[in-house]
Amino acid sequence: MDQDVARGEAMKVPENLARKFLYYPDRLPPDMPPPRWAGGAEEVWMECDDGVNIHGLWWPEPQGAPVILFLHGNAQEVYSWSLVHEELATTGCRLLLIDFHGYGKSGGVPHEAGLYLDGKAALGWLRERDVGDSDIVVFGKSLGGGVACEIARGRQFKTLVLESTFTSLASVARNLFPFLPKGVPLGEAYDSISKLPQARSPVLVIHGERDELIPVSEGQALFDAAPEAKEFYLVPGAGHNDVSLVAGPEYARRIATFLGVSP
């Protein structure tokens, strides 16, 4: 085998491994209706710039209220994630919850560039409904925080919320890919910490004190890199997946207060 070809084949392995161990998409049957706990939601579709159609849930009430664009983590799909509507109800915001490439009913396969297109397609969908940036709360949970940091660059949203988010894929590679040699290219970057200073929105960083997957130091580093105005909400005793559960009513209250809403 040619040396250049061999080198190219070797470079493909880390990328495939990164994608295999980073994304855990659940699929949904095309004709499956929303679950009962997603009451009030409408199924919506939007087309990305690469031609892939992605699926989401839209809560249009209360009319005229700001919109939370919720970008979920690396597992499950919007039907499972729709419980966030109840958790965030006291903020008084509308909610758009989307599935990424390859998740739920969305087309395509998940990859970094595709997920960025998903976030941008959601913003375009909102713009078509006369929802401007000043009325949008971009909320990224875990992997979704990487998407949020990308689409927030140079734009002035009402708020950027990052929950349980990592600074870059490389920074947590040892936790996610302990079998890879140090410095091996991963093929995916999610270099959020270099993008966050370019955000023009107030930033709320939320992190569980006992996050076993994304150390709290990752959240602190994102907070340090964020422009003013900003706030760091550390949830005592919370891990990676139970932040809102452990925080209880204080969770929505702190978010609502940062948004300037009385819960």
Helix 112-128 / helix 143-151 crossing angle, nearest 10 deg = 60
| Angstrom distance (rounded) from CA 242 to CA 232 | 17
Q: Tell me, yes or no, if 133 is annotated catalytic.
A: no
Model confidence pLDDT, tens digit, residues 181-222:
776 667 788 999 999 999 999 999 999 999 999 999 999 999
Could you tell me where the DSSP H helices lie in the chain?
3-22, 78-81, 84-87, 112-128, 143-151, 173-176, 192-195, 216-225, 243-247, 249-259
DSSP 88-121: TGGGT-EEEEE--TTSBT--S---HHHHHHHHHH
Model confidence pLDDT, tens digit, residues 142-181:
999 999 999 999 999 999 999 999 999 888 877 766 777 7
Token digits of residue 53: 């159609």
Residue 260, classed as helix, strand or coil, is: coil
**CB 244, CB 87: distance < 8 Å:** yes
| Angstrom distance (rounded) from CA 207 to CA 165 | 8
**For all residues of the chain together, what is the average pLDDT?**
90
pLDDT computed for residue 262 by the predictor: 58
Which CATH number is associated with domain 42-259?
3.40.50.1820
Output Rg (C-alpha) for the chain, integer angstroms.
18
Q: Tell me, yes or no, if 211 is annotated catalytic.
A: yes
Average pLDDT over residues 106-124: 97
Model confidence pLDDT, tens digit, residues 98-109:
999 999 999 999
pTM given for the model: 0.91
pLDDT of 13 above 70: no
Model confidence pLDDT, tens digit, residues 29-60:
999 999 999 999 999 999 999 999 999 999 99
Q: Which of 106, 142, 168, 171 is catalytic?
A: 142
Rounded (10°) CA dihedral 26, 131, 87, 23: 20
| Angstrom distance (rounded) from CA 20 to CA 188 | 11
In sequence order, the 6+-apart residues with CB closer than 8 A to the CB of 263 are: 90, 91, 92, 252, 253, 256, 257
In sequence order, the 6+-apart residues with CB closer than 8 A to the CB of 69 are: 96, 98, 119, 122, 123, 126, 136, 137, 138, 139
C-beta neighbour count of 107 within 10 angstroms: 17
Q: Which of 106, 164, 168, 211 is catalytic?
A: 211
pLDDT of 68 above 90: yes
pLDDT computed for residue 9 by the predictor: 37
Q: Tell me, yes or no, if 106 is annotated catalytic.
A: no
